[in-house]
Each structure stands twice: as structure tokens, then as C-alpha cells.
Amino acid sequence: MSISIDTVNLVVESAQKQGFKKVTAVWLEIGALSCIEPETIEFCYEMAARETIAEHSTLHIESVAGQAYCFTCGKDVVLKQRGNACPTCDGFQLKVIKGDELRVKEIEVE
């Protein structure tokens, strides 16, 4: 919940700072390893946007694949889910380097 409130605040703040009156759409990137359900974000976003200039804006959610560094293979590998083994060597000596974030990619304003 706090994540999406922060996200909405950020969007609203930066839009207001730039002199816009209304946020009409927001694109969010959610990492596949973030453990955040898109449905949860949608719901929280709607609640957080209420009575702000982002109210009634459309939320677009894009999923970003996870990436980890495998110490066994010595290279970056794709991870579909947190807790998965390395797809190359089946090892678990992994360090997540991408895919556990929630990021505002783009906003549309009026």
C-alpha cells in the first residue's frame, strides 16, 4: 500500500511542479521478482489517486523480467520468479540485479 501511495504522490508532485492540471494516465513498470500483484497495485493506486489531480487516471502496468547474476556461471541470467534456480546451471548462488522494483515509466498530463 505504501509503495503505491508514494508512487502516486511522486507523480502528482512532479506534474503539479510542471504546471499541469490533471494526470490522465500513468505507466508503471513492475519487476517480475517484486512479489507485487498487478491487481493489488491497481486497487491501491485508485485509492491513493482519489482527490488528487491523478483521480480517474488510467493505470497501465508493464511487467519487467527479472535478472540475476549467477556466481556459478559467472554471468547474468533471466529469472522468471523469486526463488527460482539459475536456468543454466540450476544453482541458487544468485544475486538479483533487476526486476524487484516498481518504477514510474511515463505519465500523461493535461
Give the interface with Zn ion as residue ranges (CB under 5 A). 70, 72-73, 86, 88-89, 91
CB of 93 to Zn ion, least distance (A): 7
For residues 86 and 71, the answer to whether their CB atoms sit within 8 Å is no
Of the two residues 19 and 74, which places its CB atom closer to Zn ion in the complex? 74
Of the two residues 38 and 91, which places its CB atom closer to Zn ion in the complex? 91
Pairing of strands 75-79, 66-70: antiparallel
Residue carrying C-alpha cell 512532479: 14
Of the two residues 27 and 69, which places its CB atom closer to Zn ion in the complex? 69
CB of 25 to Zn ion, least distance (A): 39
Which of 95, 70, 67, 62 has the alpha carbon at shortest distance from 81? 67
